[in-house]
Structure 1
Amino acid sequence: MRVIIIDDHPLVRKGLELVASLEEDFEICGFAANGLEAMEVLEKHSPDVALVDLRLPGEHGLDIIEKARSINSTCKYIVLTSYATKEEIKQAMALEVDGYILKETLPEELITSVRMIHKGRKYFDPVIVQHALEEKNEDKLSELTTREMEVLKFLSRGLNNKKIAEDLFISEHTVKKHVGQILTKLELQDRTQAALYGVSQALNR
Protein backbone atom coordinates (compact mmCIF):
# COMPACT_ATOMS: atom_id res chain seq x y z
CA MET A 1 0.00 0.00 0.00
CA ARG A 2 1.58 3.27 -1.16
CA VAL A 3 0.85 6.15 1.21
CA ILE A 4 1.59 9.87 1.10
CA ILE A 5 1.38 12.24 4.06
CA ILE A 6 0.17 15.81 3.55
CA ASP A 7 0.97 17.66 6.77
CA ASP A 8 3.12 20.71 7.51
CA HIS A 9 4.39 19.48 10.90
CA PRO A 10 7.73 17.59 10.66
CA LEU A 11 7.12 15.75 13.93
CA VAL A 12 3.76 14.45 12.71
CA ARG A 13 5.26 13.30 9.41
CA LYS A 14 8.15 11.58 11.19
CA GLY A 15 5.82 9.92 13.69
CA LEU A 16 3.53 8.58 10.97
CA GLU A 17 6.51 7.36 8.97
CA LEU A 18 7.82 5.50 12.02
CA VAL A 19 4.45 3.86 12.70
CA ALA A 20 4.09 2.82 9.05
CA SER A 21 7.65 1.46 8.88
CA LEU A 22 6.68 -1.27 11.33
CA GLU A 23 4.07 -2.63 8.89
CA GLU A 24 5.12 -4.79 5.93
CA ASP A 25 2.23 -3.69 3.74
CA PHE A 26 2.81 0.06 4.22
CA GLU A 27 5.15 2.17 2.09
CA ILE A 28 5.42 5.91 2.73
CA CYS A 29 6.29 7.13 -0.75
CA GLY A 30 6.04 10.90 -0.33
CA PHE A 31 5.43 13.93 1.84
CA ALA A 32 3.86 17.34 1.25
CA ALA A 33 3.52 20.39 3.48
CA ASN A 34 1.11 22.44 1.34
CA GLY A 35 -1.29 22.23 -1.58
CA LEU A 36 1.29 22.75 -4.33
CA GLU A 37 3.59 20.04 -2.97
CA ALA A 38 0.59 17.74 -2.56
CA MET A 39 -0.29 17.95 -6.26
CA GLU A 40 3.33 17.26 -7.23
CA VAL A 41 3.60 14.24 -4.92
CA LEU A 42 0.29 12.83 -6.14
CA GLU A 43 1.36 13.05 -9.79
CA LYS A 44 4.81 11.63 -9.11
CA HIS A 45 3.92 8.68 -6.88
CA SER A 46 0.27 7.76 -7.66
CA PRO A 47 -0.41 6.66 -4.06
CA ASP A 48 -3.16 4.32 -2.90
CA VAL A 49 -3.85 6.39 0.22
CA ALA A 50 -3.32 10.04 1.17
CA LEU A 51 -3.39 11.20 4.79
CA VAL A 52 -4.35 14.88 4.74
CA ASP A 53 -4.24 17.41 7.56
CA LEU A 54 -6.98 20.06 7.44
CA ARG A 55 -4.96 23.12 8.40
CA LEU A 56 -2.16 23.67 5.93
CA PRO A 57 -0.32 26.86 4.91
CA GLY A 58 -2.32 28.81 2.36
CA GLU A 59 -4.95 26.17 1.65
CA HIS A 60 -7.46 24.06 3.53
CA GLY A 61 -7.03 20.29 3.46
CA LEU A 62 -10.53 19.68 2.09
CA ASP A 63 -9.82 22.02 -0.85
CA ILE A 64 -6.65 20.05 -1.54
CA ILE A 65 -8.59 16.76 -1.53
CA GLU A 66 -11.13 18.17 -3.97
CA LYS A 67 -8.37 19.24 -6.37
CA ALA A 68 -6.37 16.05 -5.85
CA ARG A 69 -9.23 13.87 -7.06
CA SER A 70 -8.85 15.37 -10.53
CA ILE A 71 -5.27 14.07 -10.56
CA ASN A 72 -5.80 10.72 -8.83
CA SER A 73 -9.41 9.63 -8.51
CA THR A 74 -8.58 6.10 -7.30
CA CYS A 75 -6.58 7.26 -4.27
CA LYS A 76 -8.30 7.00 -0.89
CA TYR A 77 -8.29 10.39 0.83
CA ILE A 78 -8.28 10.37 4.62
CA VAL A 79 -8.56 13.45 6.81
CA LEU A 80 -6.08 13.16 9.70
CA THR A 81 -6.36 16.11 12.04
CA SER A 82 -6.08 17.20 15.68
CA TYR A 83 -9.61 18.57 15.90
CA ALA A 84 -12.46 19.59 13.64
CA THR A 85 -15.31 22.05 13.71
CA LYS A 86 -18.86 20.95 12.93
CA GLU A 87 -18.69 22.92 9.69
CA GLU A 88 -15.52 21.08 8.62
CA ILE A 89 -17.12 17.73 9.40
CA LYS A 90 -20.17 18.73 7.38
CA GLN A 91 -17.98 19.76 4.43
CA ALA A 92 -15.97 16.54 4.65
CA MET A 93 -19.17 14.48 4.57
CA ALA A 94 -20.40 16.44 1.55
CA LEU A 95 -17.05 15.84 -0.16
CA GLU A 96 -17.40 12.12 0.64
CA VAL A 97 -13.89 11.68 2.00
CA ASP A 98 -12.93 8.05 2.55
CA GLY A 99 -12.02 8.47 6.20
CA TYR A 100 -11.78 10.94 9.06
CA ILE A 101 -9.29 10.12 11.80
CA LEU A 102 -8.14 12.18 14.78
CA LYS A 103 -4.41 12.42 15.52
CA GLU A 104 -5.04 11.29 19.09
CA THR A 105 -5.91 7.84 17.71
CA LEU A 106 -3.65 5.02 18.92
CA PRO A 107 -1.08 3.83 16.31
CA GLU A 108 -2.61 0.35 16.02
CA GLU A 109 -6.08 1.85 15.50
CA LEU A 110 -4.71 4.16 12.82
CA ILE A 111 -3.10 1.27 10.94
CA THR A 112 -6.27 -0.84 11.16
CA SER A 113 -8.41 2.08 9.95
CA VAL A 114 -6.15 2.83 6.98
CA ARG A 115 -6.15 -0.84 5.95
CA MET A 116 -9.94 -0.88 6.15
CA ILE A 117 -10.22 2.24 3.99
CA HIS A 118 -7.69 0.89 1.48
CA LYS A 119 -9.94 -2.16 1.01
CA GLY A 120 -12.85 0.09 0.06
CA ARG A 121 -14.64 0.71 3.33
CA LYS A 122 -15.26 4.06 4.98
CA TYR A 123 -14.01 4.85 8.46
CA PHE A 124 -14.88 7.80 10.68
CA ASP A 125 -13.62 8.31 14.21
CA PRO A 126 -16.48 7.81 16.73
CA VAL A 127 -16.08 11.42 17.90
CA ILE A 128 -16.59 12.61 14.32
CA VAL A 129 -19.65 10.38 13.90
CA GLN A 130 -21.16 11.84 17.07
CA HIS A 131 -20.62 15.39 15.82
CA ALA A 132 -22.17 14.48 12.47
CA LEU A 133 -25.25 13.01 14.15
CA GLU A 134 -25.65 16.10 16.32
CA GLU A 135 -25.41 18.28 13.22
CA LYS A 136 -28.03 16.18 11.44
CA ASN A 137 -30.36 16.37 14.44
CA GLU A 138 -29.95 20.14 14.62
CA ASP A 139 -30.80 20.42 10.93
CA LYS A 140 -33.95 18.34 11.41
CA LEU A 141 -35.11 20.33 14.43
CA SER A 142 -34.67 23.57 12.51
CA GLU A 143 -37.43 22.38 10.14
CA LEU A 144 -40.01 22.43 12.95
CA THR A 145 -42.18 25.47 13.57
CA THR A 146 -42.21 27.14 16.98
CA ARG A 147 -45.52 25.46 17.83
CA GLU A 148 -44.28 22.04 16.68
CA MET A 149 -41.22 22.45 18.91
CA GLU A 150 -43.52 23.20 21.84
CA VAL A 151 -45.56 20.07 21.13
CA LEU A 152 -42.39 17.97 20.81
CA LYS A 153 -41.17 19.24 24.19
CA PHE A 154 -44.45 18.19 25.80
CA LEU A 155 -44.28 14.79 24.06
CA SER A 156 -40.79 14.26 25.44
CA ARG A 157 -42.18 14.93 28.92
CA GLY A 158 -44.77 12.17 28.48
CA LEU A 159 -47.88 14.35 28.13
CA ASN A 160 -50.89 13.05 26.19
CA ASN A 161 -52.72 15.06 23.51
CA LYS A 162 -55.43 16.26 25.90
CA LYS A 163 -52.93 17.67 28.37
CA ILE A 164 -50.84 19.26 25.60
CA ALA A 165 -53.99 20.88 24.20
CA GLU A 166 -54.88 22.30 27.62
CA ASP A 167 -51.40 23.68 28.25
CA LEU A 168 -51.14 25.29 24.80
CA PHE A 169 -54.79 26.44 24.70
CA ILE A 170 -55.47 24.64 21.41
CA SER A 171 -57.75 21.76 20.41
CA GLU A 172 -56.75 18.08 20.54
CA HIS A 173 -57.35 17.94 16.79
CA THR A 174 -54.73 20.66 16.29
CA VAL A 175 -52.31 18.80 18.55
CA LYS A 176 -52.77 15.66 16.42
CA LYS A 177 -51.99 17.67 13.29
CA HIS A 178 -48.82 19.03 14.88
CA VAL A 179 -47.75 15.55 15.98
CA GLY A 180 -48.27 14.31 12.41
CA GLN A 181 -46.09 17.11 11.05
CA ILE A 182 -43.40 16.36 13.64
CA LEU A 183 -43.32 12.67 12.67
CA THR A 184 -43.07 13.55 8.98
CA LYS A 185 -40.31 16.15 9.36
CA LEU A 186 -38.23 14.07 11.78
CA GLU A 187 -38.84 10.86 9.80
CA LEU A 188 -40.24 9.02 12.82
CA GLN A 189 -42.87 6.27 13.01
CA ASP A 190 -44.98 7.19 16.03
CA ARG A 191 -45.33 9.51 19.03
CA THR A 192 -43.24 7.17 21.20
CA GLN A 193 -40.30 7.60 18.84
CA ALA A 194 -40.96 11.34 18.84
CA ALA A 195 -40.90 11.39 22.65
CA LEU A 196 -37.64 9.43 22.76
CA TYR A 197 -36.14 11.70 20.12
CA GLY A 198 -37.10 14.72 22.21
CA VAL A 199 -35.46 13.19 25.27
CA SER A 200 -32.28 12.50 23.25
CA GLN A 201 -32.20 16.21 22.38
CA ALA A 202 -32.75 17.20 26.04
CA LEU A 203 -36.15 18.75 25.25
CA ASN A 204 -37.77 17.13 28.28
CA ARG A 205 -36.10 19.48 30.75
Structure 2
Amino acid sequence: MIRVLLADDQALVRGALAAMLRMESDLDVVAEVGSGTEVLAVARRTAPDIALLDVQMPGRDGIEVTGQLRRALPACRVVICTTFGRPGYLSRAMTAGAAGFVVKDSRPEQLINAIRRVHAGLRFVDPALAAESLAAGASPLTDREADVLRAAAGGGTVAEIATALGLSHGTVRNHLSAAIGKTETRTRVEAARIAETNGWL
Protein backbone atom coordinates (compact mmCIF):
# COMPACT_ATOMS: atom_id res chain seq x y z
CA MET A 1 0.00 0.00 0.00
CA ILE A 2 1.08 3.57 -0.74
CA ARG A 3 0.46 5.67 2.37
CA VAL A 4 -0.72 9.20 1.49
CA LEU A 5 -0.99 12.35 3.60
CA LEU A 6 -3.34 15.01 2.17
CA ALA A 7 -2.88 18.71 2.94
CA ASP A 8 -5.42 21.17 1.53
CA ASP A 9 -7.12 24.06 3.31
CA GLN A 10 -10.42 23.56 1.45
CA ALA A 11 -12.33 20.87 3.34
CA LEU A 12 -14.56 19.99 0.39
CA VAL A 13 -11.61 19.52 -1.97
CA ARG A 14 -9.66 17.58 0.66
CA GLY A 15 -12.60 15.27 1.29
CA ALA A 16 -13.20 14.68 -2.41
CA LEU A 17 -9.52 13.89 -3.02
CA ALA A 18 -9.43 11.50 -0.06
CA ALA A 19 -12.57 9.69 -1.25
CA MET A 20 -11.18 9.37 -4.78
CA LEU A 21 -7.82 8.02 -3.61
CA ARG A 22 -9.41 5.53 -1.23
CA MET A 23 -11.18 3.93 -4.19
CA GLU A 24 -7.79 2.70 -5.42
CA SER A 25 -6.75 -0.67 -3.97
CA ASP A 26 -3.09 0.33 -3.57
CA LEU A 27 -3.61 3.77 -1.97
CA ASP A 28 -4.29 4.43 1.71
CA VAL A 29 -4.99 7.99 2.92
CA VAL A 30 -3.44 7.90 6.39
CA ALA A 31 -3.99 11.58 7.31
CA GLU A 32 -5.78 14.74 6.19
CA VAL A 33 -4.79 18.23 7.35
CA GLY A 34 -6.04 21.72 6.54
CA SER A 35 -2.95 23.88 7.05
CA GLY A 36 0.73 23.86 6.26
CA THR A 37 1.67 24.18 9.93
CA GLU A 38 0.13 20.77 10.71
CA VAL A 39 1.91 18.76 8.03
CA LEU A 40 5.28 18.00 9.62
CA ALA A 41 3.97 16.82 13.00
CA VAL A 42 1.28 14.66 11.39
CA ALA A 43 3.78 13.24 8.88
CA ARG A 44 6.13 12.28 11.71
CA ARG A 45 3.25 10.49 13.45
CA THR A 46 1.80 8.69 10.41
CA ALA A 47 4.92 8.05 8.26
CA PRO A 48 3.37 8.59 4.81
CA ASP A 49 5.11 7.50 1.62
CA ILE A 50 3.62 10.46 -0.27
CA ALA A 51 2.58 13.92 0.92
CA LEU A 52 0.03 15.47 -1.45
CA LEU A 53 0.27 19.22 -0.77
CA ASP A 54 -1.61 22.29 -1.95
CA VAL A 55 0.51 25.41 -2.53
CA GLN A 56 -1.55 28.12 -0.85
CA MET A 57 -2.44 27.09 2.70
CA PRO A 58 -2.66 28.91 6.05
CA GLY A 59 0.47 29.07 8.15
CA ARG A 60 3.05 27.64 5.75
CA ASP A 61 2.60 27.21 2.03
CA GLY A 62 3.10 23.86 0.34
CA ILE A 63 6.45 24.83 -1.14
CA GLU A 64 7.91 25.77 2.26
CA VAL A 65 6.48 22.55 3.75
CA THR A 66 8.06 20.54 0.92
CA GLY A 67 11.52 21.67 1.98
CA GLN A 68 10.79 20.89 5.63
CA LEU A 69 9.52 17.40 4.80
CA ARG A 70 12.47 16.58 2.59
CA ARG A 71 14.88 17.52 5.39
CA ALA A 72 12.97 15.87 8.26
CA LEU A 73 11.54 12.79 6.50
CA PRO A 74 13.58 12.08 3.35
CA ALA A 75 11.64 8.85 2.67
CA CYS A 76 8.42 10.85 2.25
CA ARG A 77 8.14 12.10 -1.33
CA VAL A 78 6.07 15.16 -2.22
CA VAL A 79 3.49 15.73 -4.94
CA ILE A 80 2.14 19.27 -5.25
CA CYS A 81 -1.55 19.39 -6.24
CA THR A 82 -2.76 22.95 -6.73
CA THR A 83 -5.26 25.17 -8.52
CA PHE A 84 -2.42 27.51 -9.40
CA GLY A 85 -0.54 25.96 -12.29
CA ARG A 86 2.10 28.68 -12.55
CA PRO A 87 5.57 28.08 -13.98
CA GLY A 88 7.16 29.90 -11.05
CA TYR A 89 5.43 27.62 -8.56
CA LEU A 90 6.62 24.56 -10.47
CA SER A 91 10.22 25.78 -10.46
CA ARG A 92 10.16 26.67 -6.76
CA ALA A 93 8.47 23.40 -5.79
CA MET A 94 11.02 21.28 -7.66
CA THR A 95 13.89 23.28 -6.17
CA ALA A 96 12.40 22.65 -2.71
CA GLY A 97 12.40 18.90 -3.40
CA ALA A 98 8.96 18.03 -4.79
CA ALA A 99 8.94 15.02 -7.12
CA GLY A 100 5.54 15.68 -8.68
CA PHE A 101 3.36 18.62 -9.68
CA VAL A 102 -0.28 18.29 -10.78
CA VAL A 103 -2.98 20.93 -11.26
CA LYS A 104 -6.40 20.31 -9.75
CA ASP A 105 -8.26 20.42 -13.04
CA SER A 106 -6.29 17.37 -14.27
CA ARG A 107 -8.09 14.10 -14.87
CA PRO A 108 -8.26 11.91 -11.73
CA GLU A 109 -6.20 9.22 -13.49
CA GLN A 110 -3.38 11.73 -13.96
CA LEU A 111 -3.17 12.46 -10.24
CA ILE A 112 -3.26 8.76 -9.34
CA ASN A 113 -0.59 8.05 -11.96
CA ALA A 114 1.55 10.87 -10.53
CA ILE A 115 1.34 9.38 -7.01
CA ARG A 116 2.29 5.92 -8.25
CA ARG A 117 5.19 7.18 -10.38
CA VAL A 118 6.58 9.35 -7.59
CA HIS A 119 6.29 6.44 -5.14
CA ALA A 120 8.27 4.33 -7.62
CA GLY A 121 11.11 6.88 -7.46
CA LEU A 122 10.23 8.76 -10.65
CA ARG A 123 9.12 12.34 -11.25
CA PHE A 124 5.84 13.56 -12.68
CA VAL A 125 4.96 17.05 -13.93
CA ASP A 126 1.71 18.07 -15.59
CA PRO A 127 2.72 18.06 -19.30
CA ALA A 128 0.99 21.35 -20.22
CA LEU A 129 2.56 23.13 -17.25
CA ALA A 130 5.98 21.67 -18.05
CA ALA A 131 5.76 23.09 -21.59
CA GLU A 132 4.60 26.46 -20.29
CA SER A 133 7.38 26.52 -17.74
CA LEU A 134 10.02 25.85 -20.38
CA ALA A 135 8.62 28.66 -22.53
CA ALA A 136 8.47 31.10 -19.60
CA GLY A 137 11.96 30.39 -18.29
CA ALA A 138 13.18 30.90 -14.75
CA SER A 139 12.25 33.81 -12.51
CA PRO A 140 14.33 36.87 -13.41
CA LEU A 141 14.26 38.04 -9.77
CA THR A 142 17.07 37.44 -7.31
CA ASP A 143 16.08 36.00 -3.93
CA ARG A 144 16.52 39.41 -2.29
CA GLU A 145 14.46 41.19 -4.98
CA ALA A 146 11.69 38.64 -4.39
CA ASP A 147 11.89 39.24 -0.62
CA VAL A 148 11.59 43.00 -1.11
CA LEU A 149 8.70 42.66 -3.57
CA ARG A 150 6.92 40.27 -1.21
CA ALA A 151 7.19 42.87 1.55
CA ALA A 152 6.12 45.64 -0.83
CA ALA A 153 3.01 43.67 -1.85
CA GLY A 154 1.70 44.19 1.67
CA GLY A 155 1.75 47.97 1.10
CA GLY A 156 4.71 48.76 3.34
CA THR A 157 6.77 51.93 2.90
CA VAL A 158 10.44 51.79 1.95
CA ALA A 159 11.30 52.48 5.60
CA GLU A 160 9.04 49.66 6.83
CA ILE A 161 10.43 47.21 4.28
CA ALA A 162 14.01 48.19 5.21
CA THR A 163 13.31 47.63 8.91
CA ALA A 164 11.54 44.32 8.34
CA LEU A 165 14.33 42.93 6.15
CA GLY A 166 17.29 44.54 7.92
CA LEU A 167 18.34 46.54 4.85
CA SER A 168 19.16 50.18 4.22
CA HIS A 169 16.59 52.43 2.54
CA GLY A 170 18.84 52.78 -0.50
CA THR A 171 19.23 49.01 -0.86
CA VAL A 172 15.46 48.56 -0.73
CA ARG A 173 14.99 51.24 -3.41
CA ASN A 174 17.63 49.56 -5.60
CA HIS A 175 15.96 46.14 -5.29
CA LEU A 176 12.52 47.62 -6.03
CA SER A 177 13.88 49.46 -9.05
CA ALA A 178 15.53 46.28 -10.36
CA ALA A 179 12.35 44.24 -9.83
CA ILE A 180 10.23 46.88 -11.60
CA GLY A 181 12.64 46.81 -14.55
CA LYS A 182 12.73 43.01 -14.75
CA THR A 183 8.93 42.72 -14.64
CA GLU A 184 8.58 45.55 -17.19
CA THR A 185 6.15 47.42 -14.97
CA ARG A 186 5.94 51.00 -13.71
CA THR A 187 5.25 50.61 -10.01
CA ARG A 188 6.19 48.23 -7.23
CA VAL A 189 2.52 47.27 -6.83
CA GLU A 190 2.36 46.21 -10.49
CA ALA A 191 5.70 44.42 -10.17
CA ALA A 192 4.49 42.48 -7.13
CA ARG A 193 1.26 41.55 -8.93
CA ILE A 194 3.14 40.27 -12.00
CA ALA A 195 5.60 38.34 -9.85
CA GLU A 196 2.77 36.78 -7.84
CA THR A 197 0.83 35.86 -11.00
CA ASN A 198 3.91 34.11 -12.37
CA GLY A 199 4.53 32.28 -9.10
CA TRP A 200 7.86 33.99 -8.46
CA LEU A 201 6.93 35.04 -4.91
Q: TM-score, normalised by structure 2?
A: 0.65
Query: In the aligned structure 2, how far is the partner of 1:89 from the partner of 1:115?
Result: 19
Corresponding residue for residue 88 of structure 1: 89
- How far residue 75 of structure 1 moved from its aligned partner, in angstroms, is 0.8
SS of the equivalent of 1:55 reads: coil
SS of the equivalent of 2:137 reads: helix
Corresponding residue for residue 7 of structure 1: 8
- Does residue 1:135 correspond to 2:136, yes or no? yes
- How far residue 89 of structure 1 moved from its aligned partner, in angstroms, is 2.1
C-alpha contact 2:54 2:82 (8 A) present in aligned 1: yes
Query: In the aligned structure 2, how far is the partner of 1:129 from the partner of 1:57?
Result: 27
1:163-182 alignment, distance < 5 Å? none
Query: In the aligned structure 1, how far is the partner of 2:50 from the partner of 2:131?
Result: 25
Greater radius of gyration (CA) = 1
Give the superposed CA RMSD: 1.7
Query: In the aligned structure 2, how far is the partner of 1:138 from the partner of 1:25?
Result: 38
Q: Which amino acid aligns with 2:74?
A: S
Q: Which amino acid aligns with 2:121?
A: G
Q: TM-score, normalised by structure 1?
A: 0.63
Corresponding residue for residue 64 of structure 1: 65
Residue by residue over 1:21-52, the C-alpha shift from the partner in whole angstroms, topping out at 9 and shown as x without a partner, is 21111100001111221111111011000100
The count of aligned residue pairs is 139
Corresponding residue for residue 179 of structure 1: none
Query: In the aligned structure 2, how far is the partner of 1:51 from the partner of 1:27?
Result: 12
Query: In the aligned structure 2, how far is the partner of 1:132 from the partner of 1:91?
Result: 11
Corresponding residue for residue 103 of structure 1: 104
SS of the equivalent of 1:130 reads: helix
1:8-87 alignment, distance < 5 Å? 8-87=9-88
- How far residue 137 of structure 1 moved from its aligned partner, in angstroms, is 8.2
C-alpha contact 1:42 1:71 (8 A) present in aligned 2: no
Structure 1 unmatched runs, 5+? 140-205
Moved over 4 A (4+): none
Query: In the aligned structure 2, how far is the partner of 1:24 from the partner of 1:89?
Result: 29
Residue by residue over 1:97-121, the C-alpha shift from the partner in whole angstroms, topping out at 9 and shown as x without a partner, is 1000011111122112211111011
Residue by residue over 1:157-178, the C-alpha shift from the partner in whole angstroms, topping out at 9 and shown as x without a partner, is xxxxxxxxxxxxxxxxxxxxxx
- Does residue 1:121 correspond to 2:126, yes or no? no
Q: Which amino acid aligns with 2:51?
A: A
Query: In the aligned structure 1, how far is the partner of 2:115 from the partner of 2:139?
Result: 30
Residue by residue over 1:79-102, the C-alpha shift from the partner in whole angstroms, topping out at 9 and shown as x without a partner, is 100113332222123224100001
C-alpha contact 1:100 1:123 (8 A) present in aligned 2: yes
